[in-house]
Structure formats: C-alpha cells, structure tokens
C-alpha cells in the first residue's frame, strides 16, 4: 500500500499536470490567434501601402512604382507576394517576388471589404492571403474595380509559434518540477509529526520509553492522548493483577493453614470433610473476589457503560453462597436502564464491598 506521502504526491502531481497542461493549451491557442491577427494587420498594412503607391493614368491604366517600400516585394520567391487583379480576375500587376510562383486565385471580396484565406501553391507551400477590393474612378469618369492581394509564406508564423511553444512548455515544465520539489518538502515537513509518533511507538515497543512524550500538533493531540491513556490503563491493569496475586497468596495462607492443621489433628472424618468444604468454599470466594478486583483497572479513555443490574445480581448470588448459613433475604430494586459510566471491575469492587458488609452485619434481611 502506498504511503501517505506518495499518495499526496501522486494526487497533487496529477492535478498539477492537468492544470499546467490546460494552461499551456490555452496560452498556446491565444498566442497562435494573436500571431495570426498580427499577420492580418501586417498584410492589411501592405495593402494600404500599395494603394498609396498606386496611380491611374488618363487612359484608366493602373501603375505602381518599380520599387516598393518593402524590399521583399522585389526579391523572387521571398515569401511576400502582391498582385492587383481587375474585375474579370485578370492580373494587372504582380510584384517581382511572384516570378516563377504560381498562386491559385481566391474569391474577390466586395468593395471596401477584405478577405483572409489560407491557400497553397502548386508546390504545396502554405500561404496567408489578404484581398481587398476598391473602386477607382478614371479621368473619363469610369468606375473600375481593382482587387489588391497580398500573400505571405506561413513558415514565418509557424516558426514564431514553434519558438513560443518551445519556450512555453520549457518554462511550464520547469515550473512543474519546481512546484513538485517544493511540495515534496512541504509534505515532508507537514507529515513530520506522524513520523515522530511512529518513532515514539517503536521506542515503546522496544522498551525504551513508556509514554508518547513529544509535542504534537492539535490534530494529533487527541490521538496521542488516547494512546497514552491506553498505555496507562494497561500499566494499571498489570499492577492491579500483580497486587491481586500478592493479596490472593496472602489470603490463602489462613485457609490452607487451617486445612493442614485439621489434616494433622482432626480424627473425625465427617468433621474434617465439613471443615475442608468450608475452607475450599472460602478459598473459591477469595479467588473469585481477587480476580474480579484485578479486572477493575479504572476508567479508560474509551469505556463502554456497564449495566448495573446484572452486576448486582451476580454479587448477590455469590454472597448468598458465602453466607448461606445466615439465610439472608435480599430485596433488589434496580432500574433496568441504569448504567455505570466506568469499568465493570470498579463497579464490582465497589458494590462487592458494600454488599459484603450488608451480608456480614445484617440479621437476616
């Protein structure tokens, strides 16, 4: 069976792993969405830059400068591409970076709206695409629709997300390890009193101590007090039995001496038999009395209340045999529900002394 420390460590490790795992997934998703939002804004900025650099001549022809603000538009296969498409889908202008790159068309948005798509080239290169449609009025008062489309390779965003994930899970793993170490230290410190109790109990088993003498937390104090109470009760029982054995040996000397004297001097067999029976009965009562007295070890910390009536009836039955020659008449009036909140031995000794005096000094009732 697992120890308390291992159980707590396993449970807390599972909870910690679940919490950090969920936290990592939430942060990862939030960063990915943030990176994609930043990319959309960056592509929108490129569209606005192209719009600002665009010009329509008197013939309605669109012109853009050879050199654009971002140099990547002028570098073939740089990963940043741009083109302008007319209303029929025909490219009117393409950046130099699109040289040798075949990009599939995307649906054109309505005027003033932008459309964001994720597409792939014929070679399987993933791209983010942002298209924006504008209406341009020529000198001849003719409305022309132009769709500006800017595309960027997804690898840059993927690399950014990968770096973040590596950093994120590395820090979360380090935090989890640190928390587990701290938690292990805290658990060891918190469960220290239990180990001290176990060490004290082993010392008692080895005979090196008689009580739990340590200072324990409030939560364990009731347990340790009860254990000390049980130990004290056991010692009292042992002392009571030793004293009772000594008292029994001392009490039996007189009947045994009477029997030995009768055996040596009594000639009448009938009288000897009567005397022997009386002395044996007396010794039996002495043994029973001392055994009952030895069993009375005082009230313990966990005692079951004792019904009074059965104890009284047993004592009366025993004393009636001892004082049979007096023919004592006993009247018993005890509530059947009455109980004694203590040890049965204490009750027997107390009532035994009381009833023994009653039998001894009464006339007949």
82 three-state secondary structure:
strand
Q: Contact at 8 Å (CB) between 137 and 115? A: no
Say what the pLDDT of residue 320 is: 82
CA dist 28 and 161 (Å) reads 8
Contacts of 287 (CB under 8 A, 6+ apart): 248
- For the purposes of burial, counting CB atoms within 10 Å of the CB of 50, is it exposed (0-12), middle (13-18) or buried (19 or more)? buried
- The class level of CATH for 4-162 reads alpha beta
Query: pLDDT tens per residue, the chain (365 residues)?
Result: 677 778 888 888 899 889 999 999 999 999 999 998 898 899 999 999 998 888 877 666 778 887 887 888 888 888 899 999 888 888 888 888 888 888 888 888 888 888 998 888 878 888 999 999 998 876 667 788 889 999 998 888 888 899 999 999 999 999 999 998 998 888 888 888 888 888 888 888 887 787 887 777 888 888 888 888 888 888 887 787 788 788 778 777 777 777 777 787 766 787 778 878 877 887 887 787 777 666 654 444 456 788 988 888 888 887 887 777 778 888 888 888 888 887 676 788 788 888 888 888 887 77
Cα torsion through 270, 273, 278, 284, rounded to 10? -170
CA dist 28 and 170 (Å) reads 13
CA dist 308 and 347 (Å) reads 8
Phi and psi torsions of 42, nearest 5°: -65, -40
**111: how many CB neighbours lie within 10 A of its CB?**
13
Cα-Cα-Cα-Cα dihedral sign, residues 87, 88, 94, 97: positive
Q: Which of 154, 146, 156, 155 is nearest to 83 (CA)?
A: 146
Phi and psi torsions of 146, nearest 5°: -130, 135
Max Cα-Cα span within the chain: 164
Contacts of 258 (CB under 8 A, 6+ apart): 275, 279
Say what the pLDDT of residue 44 is: 92
Say what the pLDDT of residue 173 is: 92
Q: Which of 357, 360, 353, 352 is nearest to 313 (CA)?
A: 352
Contacts of 103 (CB under 8 A, 6+ apart): 81, 83, 119, 121, 127, 129, 151
Say what the pLDDT of residue 140 is: 63
Say what the pLDDT of residue 299 is: 45
CA dist 88 and 55 (Å) reads 20
Q: What residues does each domain of the chain span?
A: 4-162, 218-361
Q: Please enumerate, as own/partner, the contacts of 245-248 that have beta carbons within 8 Å and a separation of 24 or more.
A: 245/290, 245/294, 247/290, 247/293, 248/286, 248/287, 248/290
Q: Which of 237, 238, 244 is nearest to 287 (CA)?
A: 244
């Amino acid at each position: 069976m697992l120890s308390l420390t291992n159980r707590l460590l396993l449970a807390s490790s599972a909870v910690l792993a679940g919490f950090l795992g969920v936290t990592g997934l939430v942060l990862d998703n939030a960063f990915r969405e943030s990176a994609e939002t930043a990319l959309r804004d960056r592509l929108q900025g490129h569209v606005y830059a192209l719009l600002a650099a665009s010009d329509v001549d008197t013939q309605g022809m669109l012109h853009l400068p050879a050199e654009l603000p971002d140099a990547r538009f002028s570098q073939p296969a740089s990963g940043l591409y741009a083109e302008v498409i007319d209303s029929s889908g025909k490219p009117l202008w393409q950046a130099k970076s699109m040289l040798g790159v075949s990009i599939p068309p995307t649906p054109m948005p309505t005027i003033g709206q932008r459309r964001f798509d994720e597409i792939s080239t014929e070679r399987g290169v993933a791209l983010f695409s942002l298209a924006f449609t504008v209406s341009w009025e020529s000198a001849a008062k003719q409305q022309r629709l132009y769709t500006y489309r800017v595309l960027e390779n997804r690898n840059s965003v993927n690399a950014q997300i990968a770096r973040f994930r590596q950093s994120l899970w590395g820090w979360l793993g380090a935090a989890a390890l640190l928390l587990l170490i701290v938690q292990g230290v805290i658990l060891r410190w918190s469960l220290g009193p239990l180990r001290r109790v176990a060490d004290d109990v082993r010392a008692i088993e080895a005979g090196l101590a008689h009580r739990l003498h340590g200072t324990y937390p409030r939560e364990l104090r009731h347990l340790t007090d009860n254990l000390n109470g049980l130990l004290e009760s056991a010692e009292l029982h042992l002392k009571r039995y030793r004293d009772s054995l000594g008292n029994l040996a001392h009490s039996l000397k007189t009947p045994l001496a009477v029997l030995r004297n009768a055996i040596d001097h009594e000639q009448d067999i009938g009288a000897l038999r009567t005397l022997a029976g009386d002395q044996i009965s007396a010794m039996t009562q002495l043994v029973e009395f001392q055994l009952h007295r030895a069993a009375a070890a005082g009230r313990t910390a966990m005692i079951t209340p004792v019904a009074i009536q059965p104890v009284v009836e047993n004592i009366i039955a025993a004393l009636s045999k001892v004082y049979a020659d007096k023919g004592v008449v006993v009247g018993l009036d005890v509530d059947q529900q009455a109980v004694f909140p203590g040890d049965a031995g204490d009750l027997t000794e107390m009532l035994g002394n009381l009833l023994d005096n009653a039998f001894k000094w009464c006339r007949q009732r």
